[in-house]
Structure 1
């Protein structure tokens, strides 16, 4: 059975390009509002795509200092 963190299968991170801010918040143990504020301040990696804010998975993994997603 796949290992999950915050409802996201760890193996799925290898196949995802971005996460929603809500998904990143769950992974980081933050609330939705705190995560959006951290993204706005540049405290977590994020990009604006039109009206949406997304968190690039490779940037998040690098920011966390994790070499292997299986260690997340």
Structure 2
């Protein structure tokens, strides 16, 4: 079971915590991975967000269909 499905909500960004849930890792692990550049992020002021399209590409998923890329 997946906690979220980023592309299906229409949202262009998700929180680092949501990305961590989707990956099956803890909140702290997700923020550490984001700090190392392993999870793509953008900063808006002090807010850190994960852009959905690059995140899905990182996981080898099709952005438009949410299926594994061939």
For residues 27-66 of structure 1, the aligned pairs below 5 Å read 27-66=22-61
* Secondary structure at the counterpart of residue 5 of structure 1: coil
Work out which of the residue numbers 5, 11, 16 in structure 2 matches 1:16.
Answer: 11
Question: Going by fraction, where is strand more abundant, 1 or 2?
Answer: 1
RMSD across aligned positions (CA):
1.8
Give the gaps of 5 or more residues in structure 2.
none
* Structure 2 equivalent of residue 25 of structure 1: 20
Q: How many residues end up aligned between the 2 structures?
A: 65
**TM-score of the superposition, structure 1-length normalised?**
0.79
Higher percent of residues as helix: 1
State the secondary structure of the residue aligned to 2:48.
strand
Q: CA deviation at 1:40?
A: 0.6
